[in-house]
Amino acid sequence: MPNEFDFIDWIRAQQKHNARVRIGIGDDLAALNWAKDELLLVGVDQVLDGVHFDSTVHLPRAIGQKAMNRNLSDCAAMACLPAAATVTFALPKGIGEDYAKELFLGIMEAGEKFDCTIVGGDTASWPGKLAITVSILGRSAGITPVGRAGAKPGDAIYVTGPLGGSILGRHMTFEPRVQLARELAANFQLHAMMDLSDGLGRDLRHICRASGVGATLRIQEIPVHPDAIQLAKNDPVVRAITDGEDYELLIVSPDDLPAPCVQIGSIESRAGLTLETKDADVTFDPSELGGWEHQL
């Protein structure tokens, strides 16, 4: 980086008018108007070289898009609307201004699709690897946020698309399910929802623990992505259950949800996870099935 202040001047020049933003990029903090009947949702996700992307393989524009899209996917998971975001860049020394701009443009473009404006940030070059953190603000906008703790015995479990094998590329290119989540939450009772980042087994366990329930998955109903089949021809459903970064929604509802939602199981009163196969019901521990805990 020639000079971090030049980069910040350039970032500031990318700002567009947004009625919510009273003070934008370039002060100590940004100042936003917040509508009086809206809950404020807030969260953060980082993307790290060698963990969430590989800077020797992925283009900076795509890395930036992923950094923002992970956060937009968290908004989908809560059924809120993205509103604004802040960004930090820890840039390896000598990375070059054009590369840094591509990172920012990826973040900005991914946000703009969802009316999510960049309102602040922090940039430094360092003797380390590339790390980007995006922190996001969402607004409830008329819909009560859907958490993880409301699953009830008898509820059905749904996912919004085929799972597994995202490491072949989808973990960089997924589309956050913001609109779908809003439509479902506006029209159906959603008792619990999250986005699939740690893998179906682990993420379902998060919901079960938060809700004090158990669950049964019907193995033949789980939609398996062609990428999972390519990676594991003999047992691709294991990848569908254990692979991370699908960024589809995992939903628990007492209602019949329409496509693209696919029902894959049900919530049980007894604790623990059960896999229902053609031949038998087996309890399973997502940790023991192995799988992918934030490793490229």
Cβ burial 255-292 (10 Å sphere, 16+ → b, else e): bebeeebbebbbbbeeeebbbbeeeeeeeeebeebebb
Shortest separation between residue 28's beta carbon and a second copy, angstroms: 4
Neighbours of 15 (CB within 10 A): 15
Q: Compute the C-alpha angle 199/203/207, nearest 5°.
A: 165
Cβ proximity to a second copy, 9 vs 256, nearer residue:
9
Rg of the chain's alpha carbons, rounded to an integer?
A: 20
Cβ proximity to a second copy, 210 vs 232, nearer residue:
210
Instruction: Report the distance separating Cα 144 and Cα 218, nearest Å.
Output: 30
| 162 cis-preceded (ω within 30 degrees of 0) | no
Shortest separation between residue 234's beta carbon and a second copy, angstroms: 29
Cβ proximity to a second copy, 181 vs 219, nearer residue:
181
DSSP string, 111-143: HHTTT-EEEEEEEEEESS--EEEEEEEEE-TTS
Cβ proximity to a second copy, 110 vs 207, nearer residue:
207
Shortest separation between residue 125's beta carbon and a second copy, angstroms: 8
Instruction: Report the distance separating Cα 257 and Cα 231, nearest Å.
Output: 30
Shortest separation between residue 239's beta carbon and a second copy, angstroms: 20
Cβ proximity to a second copy, 205 vs 219, nearer residue:
205
Cβ burial 219-246 (10 Å sphere, 16+ → b, else e): beebbbbebbbeebeeebbbbbbbbbbb
Shortest separation between residue 280's beta carbon and a second copy, angstroms: 29
Helix (H, G, I), strand (E, B) or coil at 229: helix
Cβ proximity to a second copy, 202 vs 236, nearer residue:
202
Contacts of 210 (CB under 8 A, 6+ apart): 147, 148, 149, 151, 192
Shortest separation between residue 53's beta carbon and a second copy, angstroms: 11
Shortest separation between residue 241's beta carbon and a second copy, angstroms: 17
8-state DSSP, 161: S
- Which residues are near a second copy by CB under 8 A? 4, 22-23, 26-34, 36-46, 48-52, 74-75, 77-78, 80, 84, 86-88, 90, 119-122, 124-129, 131, 133, 135-138, 140, 145, 147-149, 194-195, 210, 293-294
Instruction: Report the distance separating Cα 75 and Cα 139, nearest Å.
Output: 9
Cβ proximity to a second copy, 63 vs 228, nearer residue:
63
Cβ proximity to a second copy, 50 vs 154, nearer residue:
50
Shortest separation between residue 231's beta carbon and a second copy, angstroms: 23
8-state DSSP, 256: -
